[in-house]
Amino acid sequence: MCGIAGIFRHDGGPIDRDLLIRMTAALAHRGPDGQGLHTEPGIGLGHRRLAIIDTQGGTQPMCNEDASVHVIFNGEIYNYPALRPELQALGHVFANRSDTEAIVHAWEEWGPACVERLDGMFAFALWDRRRGMLFLARDRLGKKPLHYAQTPSGLVFASELRALADLPGVPMRIDPVAVDDYLAYGYIPDPASIYVGIRKLPPAHTLLIGPPDRARRRCPTPQRYWHPARAAADDHDARSPQAHGGLDAAADELRRRLEAATAARLMADVPLGAFLSGGVDSSGVAAAAARARAEAGLPPLDTFTIGFAGGDDETPYATAVARHCGTRQHTESAAAIDWIAAARDQAAVFGEPFGDPSAVPTRIVCGLARRHATVALSGDGGDEVFAGYRRHRFHLLVERARRLLPPAARRGAVATLARLYPKLDRAPRLLRAKHTLTELSLESGLGYFRTMARIQDERRRDLYAPLQAAALGGHDPGARISALMAESGQDEPLAQAQYVDLQTWLPGMMLTKVDRASMAEGLEVRCPFLDHRLVSWGLGLPPSLKLGGGGGKRVLKRALEAWVPRAVLYRPKQGFATSLAGPLRAAMPRLHQLLLGPGLLDAGLFNRDAVARLLAEHASGQCDHAQPLWSLLVLEGFLTGARPSLPVTLDMGTAA
């Protein structure tokens, strides 16, 4: 696991080495074990290394035999032991044991199509002097990040936004549309960033700048090389219940695939452990890893758990799994978090506003793991692949009703009823029908967006100052979801929702959270559930094998019955965090000082009276506004602390 940075010049001119050193140094937390640089006319590549495989010989930038191809790489290639002999048979010579070298020779052999042969998590930049090409690539699911920006002379790129800050030719202007997306989603979806001039390379995309592009001084459009829905359709084992033999046969196949994916991710020359929250996904991964280590005669697996005060604490379940699987358990309490300080610090970790408060305990558990290991396995991806979120069940039920009602009735009578129905947040669940009626009145994509949104449209619009509202020009964050559902090529509602999750929520929220939190602690995290073959197989399963028995992940729970206590598998789902409503009420004086102060309001984004109303309603206990308040706190921290040497300005020319 590492950090990469680079400078490319269209004219082939000299590279500012001091600037490249500064960019690379900004990523030191991602690679505390060493730094490497390569410069030649037109290109500069910088690398920070966290040594995992071939700790002595795997230094980067790495080149081929005649030094005509250089690469910098962040991630792991799990199938490099198979690629190595294949490439050697084709005449390529390897100089070390690292997985990085497989990328160099794969490029020489297959060119841009090399990414289709790589199995792993990766973001890399490759320079081919003889072809005059720069090639950037990101893995299929978006586990590793890559940001880039065009400059008057060429292109700069890096693992994190902080490495691109204050660079010549990179304007640090805030995009008002990105602000709206951040408050709506809790993060800024690919390919945008908080800044107008900086982009994120989307998952499963490459960017190739060749000689014609250099001559025209342009940056071409990123190209997609993998599509999850098409991959699922191509997996013949998952097409129908008849093909996989029903629930028990599918559970057996899932167990086999999870064992294989986990075994591949145990490869390391440094200590390795696993997160263990006490939920289904992390328990399954920990169990698979513990079994593999025991069969190999290795010492027990180290597992890591964070406990919370009160009813949010899952420590007893994690302890039960650790005892059942024979792991060496490490537990730490997250009871004493200063949530206000943590929110304001979030921008320093993420480089832009990031509104998921569970990033705070995630960083704590990463810090705990780093004291005992350099690599940790996680259960990320289980919910997305096997339909574990409550919104999946909700969307499926509403979509069935939506398809029975004429569109005119939904837009008319149902929409009217939704507007008139009171918002009964504190009433029994059966009486809280306003959200359901509202979703039913909308088309499918906009309805699903409401189940994902952190702050609904009405609340966001109420918060904006006139200048920000005008800059948005009618921007609708939910339109992205509608477009993705159409792009998915699926008619089945659950398949559409899962496609949306894999394009937005998974890379933008879940994987970004884990990457930044783990890299802040110098820890590599690997996700067996996100093996791309397991993902395509899981997506292709029919809904009846994912949703059933009043919950999600039906086939996964059946598969894990052989490894994990049933009391863990079939209990209600909990999120990895604690409720913020109480802590924020207790800190109300500090909230008033920060959210009604110049740091937030002087940016011209928000209406002071609307923010004050939000604070008053939360303080009184009338409403739970913990998420909007947290999002505003994070944004305030970004505006006041992320770029103290630069004026923060809105770019009002980009909203359409």
Q: Which two tokens stand for residue 434?
A: 């306003």
3-class secondary structure, 50: coil
CA quadruple 548, 552, 556, 557: dihedral, nearest 10: -70
Which run of H or of E encompasses 147? strand 147-150
Q: Are strands 43-49 and 2-9 parallel, antiparallel or unpaired?
A: antiparallel
Which run of H or of E encompasses 273? strand 272-275
Q: How far apart are CA 265 and CA 258, in angstroms?
A: 11
Q: How far apart are CA 302 and CA 605, in angstroms?
A: 46
Residues 6+ apart with CB under 8 A from 203: 138, 139, 140, 141, 142, 190, 503, 507
Out of 2, 114, 219, 366, pick the active-site residue. Answer: 2
Q: Which two tokens stand for residue 144?
A: 């590793």
Q: How far apart are CA 137 and CA 524, in angstroms?
A: 19
Distances (CA, A) of 339 to 342, 576, 578: 5, 15, 11
Going across the sheet that includes 272-275, the strands are: 328-333, 302-307, 272-275, 375-377, 524-526
Is 63 known to be catalytic? no
Helices (H) and strands (E) in the chain, counts: 31, 19
Which run of H or of E encompasses 384? helix 382-386
Residues 6+ apart with CB under 8 A from 509: 185, 186, 187, 356
3-class secondary structure, 426: coil
Among all residues, which ones are annotated catalytic?
A: 2
